[in-house]
Amino acid sequence: MKEFWQAYLPGWPPFGPDTKGRARFFGLGEVRLAVLSMIAESPRNGYQIIKELASRLGYFYRASSGTVYPVLKQLEKEGLAESRIEGGRNLYRPTRKGRALLASEAAAVAQIWSRAEQAEDLGHAGPHALAIAAPLNELYQTALRASNWAAGDPNREDQVREVLRNTTAALNYLMKPEKEKR
């Protein structure tokens, strides 16, 4: 059975949560492609890459110097990127070989950044979202079972829709300012 985040986020790597309970954002080799694609957009140093990944992915991926700098060194070693010191900082750019790899892996790169857009659409769920993850998963699983139970029976389908709409309305009511709840 898939976890909630796997079912809700198609196209994400089929891995379980990381050690902090978050869904793994990158699949095998994808950090390398993501970093290479970012330096192809504009030359960047490691710190800028870390900040940009945080901006694009929010809670879904926490880039660290322990990840980004070794990836940059690996890209250099493979001849996919080169660095130059500019303004006292090491800026990385893709080489011709790096651009050729990006062209051949364009679909994989597009999928990575498509997932990043999905993450952004989810509002960069933070630790606060973990507080409701279990009941949200229960609701999701129960709604799927209810849809199977109701399949083909218009009365049952109406009942399931009504319960889900009532749940949505109740949550929207909870989020209203107190003065609007009266």
CA distance 11 to 5: 11
Tally of CB atoms within 10 A around 82: 16
Q: Which domain holds residue 139?
A: 133-180
CA distance 161 to 11: 27
* Strand boundaries in the chain, DSSP class E: 81-86, 89-94
Short-list 120, 88, 112, CA closest to 38: 112
In contact, 99 and 27? CB cutoff 8 Å: no
Q: How many domains does the chain have?
A: 2
**DSSP at 24:** P
**pLDDT exceeds 90 at position 92:** yes
Regarding whether 78 and 28 lie in a shared domain, the answer is yes
Average pLDDT over residues 149-157: 91
Regarding whether 159 and 79 lie in a shared domain, the answer is no
In contact, 125 and 58? CB cutoff 8 Å: yes
Residue 71 burial by CB count (10 A; 0-12/13-18/19+): exposed, middle or buried? buried
**pLDDT exceeds 50 at position 137:** yes
Regarding whether 73 and 21 lie in a shared domain, the answer is yes
**pLDDT exceeds 50 at position 162:** yes
Regarding whether 151 and 120 lie in a shared domain, the answer is no
Q: What is the pTM of this model?
A: 0.59
**pLDDT exceeds 70 at position 150:** yes
